[in-house]
Structures are given as structure tokens and as C-alpha cells.
Amino acid sequence: MGTGRSGLPAWSIALLAAIGACGDPPLAAVAPGSEAGGSHEVVGFGDVRSGADAVPGPDGADATEGDATAAADAMADTPAATDGGDGDAGAATRSDAAAPDGGSAEFAILASDPTAGAAAVATKFTVTVIFSADVKKESATAYTISVRSQGVATVPCKFSVAGKVLTIAATTPAPPASRVDIVFGPLVQSQQGVPLAETTLSFYTATWPDQAGYAALAARFAPIVRQAVGGPDDLLRRADFDGEWNLANNPVHAASHPALAAITWAAVETRSHIYLTWLYYWPARPAVAPGVPFDNDTAGAQVVIERGSGQPVALQTLFKAKGDEQAWLWLANEAGWPVKSSFVRKSLPRDALFPAADPAACAGDPKAAACVRRFPAWLTAGSHQSCLWIDAGEVIDQQCALTDAIKSSLKHVVYSPAAAATEPPAPTVPGSPAAYALLPLLDSWWPRRDEAGPAQPFADTQFTYQAPAGRPLGPPYGLGGKLVSGKEGDFGRPPWAWRWKPGTLGSSYYDLPRGAPFFDPAWLLWQRLGGATAGIAPWSAATPKGFSVDYCFNPYLGIDVRGTPDCP
């Protein structure tokens, strides 16, 4: 059996068990000032997109130990009845012909360190694999064993054999927060010439360095979430609440697992702002207008924090129903940005949009950990729209409609962030208290970004982020763009496939690509506000003030230039 970006076979994750058994301003046309197509250090994803240039393809294979002659010698000893294969594409099966003399026992992998599915493995990893028989040294090389990140980019490695033990040591670090697939092809042999059935060992690398500061910001600015409840499908969860990432069974498993909520966060940083994205997840969306029912639903929000003041200046909420993909934007008055555009819902005092838990603490030192501000989120029952508790919504469009009368009788859970989640009391009454946990997206969703199939998070990997001209490129391979669902008619999306494309407004909204709110939020906000044509000052390093679209840290685009003169 082969593997690839379309998803991991079920047996690869359970490797050891298996073996043990055997009048608005126009959208801005260019980036701010001299920053258009600015300087980025891009790790693994190439440079910036120029016009219609294609995304770079995957890296070529590297032979890191052994040579073609040694590999050919090993191949010469392979039983003729064994199917060929390159260890990376297509299926390879063992022949049922008798093994050579002295090799009657099946040749298989008995154990590995790290184990299949392990997380937080060092990016410059060393993998130890134990086989059931001595390994022919010449058969274990980069020609017969593929080591790749996300099934695409080759990870250069050194291979060494000592009896039954094979050691694979990365000579160059694999990308952080990524899956590594080691595919052992059928040309790997025992000393007796018995071939190995193609086997895949997959694990996940550790996250990007220096995440503590972003985690602290997520804790300070995490929302108070009021979730309207019409039934159990409206209770927030973490996507792997049942201990695995087969989302297809989540709607069924939810009934037998406690409803412990989690909200996932992601952070990117420019010279001027930090963008915190929040992901809400439900195992299912009930049949409530204006949408249709489906399995595995998401919605989100995004808080924009000014680096200079350390205070939030903008809030977006994101939700969808079929082709209607909404992103509502509120600004804090203190941001000083234009508010005439219909692209901005409203501008409010910061204390109203982001109420301070302790006003005195924020008045003293706005950057201090004690200055906690939490926007009042509201999530509708059934349709799971991401709204604001202090906004009346749109009655005609059936979006986030909220009045004082509705509030007074609304059965809802009030979720607050905490070190550990607590289950809401039953039955739900207005204001039922519960706690949610905070999870970093880099440690949860993102490493699985291209795992698709019936028992995986995503239905397919047909989504590729198409960066606007002059903007940094995204991953050069297909990503999961639709969550798996046993129902037809609609589907949930991961945050990297969200789009600002409302069906309630004009075509000018369609100019920004799918994924922009997540991959390139600075560019999206600059465009949405109207950029320089609306009087927004571009970033000036001399001041330093203004609006920057150059990233200091954006792991989803492979950018990390923190600690450089441009990003102190």
C-alpha cells in the first residue's frame, strides 16, 4: 500500500499494534509604500509570488549515504517475484514465493523510536528501527527509504545499520510542526534477501521555537464566549476529543465523551501588529436555517494587537453557510483607522469592544500580563455563526440577530478560558458557566494539514493557497480544505481555507483569495481598510509607526525573522 498527501493508511498509525499481532474607498491596489513585495526569509516555501508565477514544486530527492552501485547490488538480490517500487509512489506487495534458503521467517519491523504517530519529535531527529532479522546494509539507503515532510519535501538523512537495528539521522532539520513520513520500500532486505513489505512510519515534529510570548498573549486576549444552545451539537469541543484525529466518527463519539470545550489559537506577527486567530469547533452542525446540517463545523475570530501599545485595535469574526462566507470587522476608536467603508461594521471605544477584566491594571501598564481584555463573543445555536454579544446583527439576513429580549431568555453557556476545561451543567439555562482550554494550532491542526481520507480530518487535499501578486507563497502542496462529513450540501473548513466572500454584499469582496484571512491577515486588513488610498500610513522603520504588511513571524508561510533589525 502506498501513502501520500491524500492521507495516512490506518495501519501506519497503528504500526506497532499490527506488528505485535503479526462610497467606500477602493480596495488598495498595492502594499504600503516600499513594503510591496518586501523582504522575507521564507523557510521551505520559496520567495514571493510574482504575477502568475507558479508555486515552486517539491524538493528533489537526496541520496545521503550509499551510492547507486550499492543500491543496484542490493536490488540484484531481490527475489524476482517481488513487485518493484520506489518506496514513495504506488503499491508494493510481497510475493508468496518461498524465501531464499535460511530466510523462511517473514522480514518485518518490530519496533521504532519514535513510535508511529509520536508528536513533538525534534526537527533534527534520529529514528531507531528494529527489524525481525539482520538488515542488509546495502539495501537501507536513501534510494530504498524515502524520508519526506508532508509527503513532499525530502529530508536529507544518514542511514546506518547494526544487525537488526537501522538508525536514520536527519542531517538537515525537518520543518517544525510538520509530519514526517518514512516509507520503507520493498527493496529493503534482510541478510537472507527477504524483502520488506512496504511500510510507512509517520510522526510529527516539534513546534516552532519561542512560542511562550504568543501563548501569553492568547491567554490575555482570549474571548468570553456565549454559546447559544439548542441541543448537544452546539457545545464546543476540541477536534480530537476522543483521542484521535478521525473526525468522521466525531458526531457519533460525542454522545459518549464529556463536552469539554477548547478554542484553538494561532499567532502571526508583522512589524506593526500581532494577529491572533481563534478557531471554534463542533462535531456537527444541526439542521437550522439559514444553513443545512453537516458533520464537523468551524467558525472563528481574529484579534489584531498593536505591537507598540500592546493593546487590541480590531476584531474580525468569521463564519459560513454554503457559499456565503462572512468576515465582520470592528475597529477600536483608538486605532485611528477610517470607518466610512461598509467593509467596517462599526468603530467602538476599546473598552467596549475589548472590556478590561481589571481597568486599573490596563490603565497602569497596558503591556503587563495583568492587563487582560476579552472580547464578548457570541455563537448562535444550530448555524454556529461567530458574532459579537454587543452587536444587534442582521435580522433580514438571519445573521447574528440579537435583541435585549432574546438575551434575557436565551439558553446559553458562558465559556471562560482556564487551565482546564469544565463541562457545562445540564440542563442549559441562561448563563450556564463552563471553562474552555486554549490549544495552539501549531501543535494540533497544522501538523495534520494535508491528511485526507474517510478516517482523517479532511475530505481531500485539493486546496492550494494562491497568494496575491507580490505576496509570500504558501505551502507548495495541496492542503485539506474541507472537513470530512457524512452529509451532503455543505461542509466545514479549516482556518487556512476561510475566505472573506459574503453572499450579502458586492463583488468587490471577491478580490482576495481563499485562505487570506489566515495566511496573510495583514494584507487582507490593509486591503479591507483601503490602504493608502484611505489615508492609512504605511510602516516607517524610522518612526517606527504605521501599518506593516511584512511578517516577522508567520510559520504558515515559513517566515521567521524575529530578532533581526527589522523585527527586534
Q: What grid cell was written down for 552?
A: 516577522
Give the pLDDT band (50/70/90) at residue 319.
very high
Nearest to 144 by CA among 185, 101, 203: 185
Q: CA separation (Å) from 491 to 292, 373, 494?
A: 9, 32, 10
- The residues, any chain, with a CB within 8 Å of residue 115's CB and separated by 6 or more, are 15, 16, 203
pLDDT at residue number 506 = 57
d(C-alpha 313, C-alpha 140), whole Å: 56
Report the pLDDT value the prediction gives residue 116, as an integer from 0 to 100: 97
User: Position 553: which residue type?
Assistant: F
360 class by beta-carbon count within 10 Å (0-12 exposed, 13-18 middle, 19+ buried): exposed
pLDDT above 50: residue 403: yes
**Tens-place pLDDT, residues 179-234:** 999 999 999 999 999 999 999 999 999 999 999 999 999 999 999 999 999 999 99
186/81 Cα distance (integer angstroms) = 12
5 or 508: which leads in pLDDT: 508
- In the three-class reduction of DSSP (H, G, I as helix; E, B as strand; rest coil), residue 396 is classed as coil
Percent of the chain with pLDDT over 90: 73
pLDDT at 526: 94
Dump pLDDT digits (tens) for 222-248. 999 999 999 999 999 999 999 999 999
Q: How confident is the model at residue 322 (pLDDT cuts 50, 70, 90)?
A: confident
pLDDT over 80 at 306, yes or no: yes
Q: What is the pLDDT of residues 435-447, one digit of tens each?
A: 999 999 999 999 9
All three cell numbers of 448, joined, read: 495534520
Cβ–Cβ < 8 Å for 201, 127: yes
Reported in sequence order, the residue ranges of 293-373 that DSSP labels E, i.e. its strands, are 294-306, 312-321, 324-332, 346-348
DSSP 405: H
Predicted structure pTM score: 0.84
C-alpha cell at 4: 501520500
Length of the chain: 568
**Range 402-428 average pLDDT:** 95
**Which one of 70-79, 308-317, 337-346 scores highest in mean pLDDT?**
308-317
Residue predicted with more confidence, 338 or 290: 338
CA 456 to chain centre: 14
Task: Report d(CA 538, CA 26) in Å as an integer.
Answer: 17
Distance, in Å, from the CA atom of 186 to the CA atom of 252, rounded to the nearest integer, reads 38
Above 70 in pLDDT, residue 431?
A: yes
Distance of CA 445 to CAs 162, 216, 243, 279, 412, Å? 37, 20, 14, 10, 27
Residue of 306 and 50 predicted with greater confidence: 306
**Residue 557 near residue 472, CB atoms below 8 Å:** yes
pLDDT at 94 over 90: no
In whole angstroms, give the CA distance from residue 130 to residue 310: 51
Burial (Cβ within 10 Å: 0-12, 13-18, ≥19) of residue 363: exposed
Which pLDDT value is given to residue 343?
86
> What is the DSSP annotation of 198-245?
PEEEEEEB---S--HHHHHHHHHHPPEEEEE-SSGGGS---TTTTSS-
Report DSSP letters for 352-370, one per residue: HHS-BSSHHHHHH-TTSTT
Q: Which amino acid is at 463?
A: F
Provide mean pLDDT across the span 539-564.
96
What local confidence, expressed as pLDDT, does residue 511 receive?
72
pLDDT-based confidence at residue 288 (cuts at 50, 70, 90): confident
Say which residues have a Cβ less than 8 Å from residue 69's Cβ, sequence separation at least 6: none
- All three cell numbers of 109, joined, read 519491523
Domains detected in the chain: 60-204 (2.60.40.1220), 212-410+444-560 (no CATH)
Question: Would you say 334 and 311 are in contact if contact means Cβ atoms under 8 Å apart?
Answer: yes
pLDDT at 510: 55
pLDDT of residue 338: 85
> In the numeric block, which cell numbers belong to residue 242?
476522543
C-alpha cell belonging to residue 78: 531481490
pLDDT at 556 over 90: yes
Which H helix or E strand runs over 388? strand 386-388
Cα of 13 vs its chain's centroid, Å: 20
Kind plus residue range of the DSSP H or E element containing 278:
strand 273-285
Looking at residue 505, its pLDDT comes to 65
How many angstroms separate the CA atoms of 373 and 353, rounded? 9
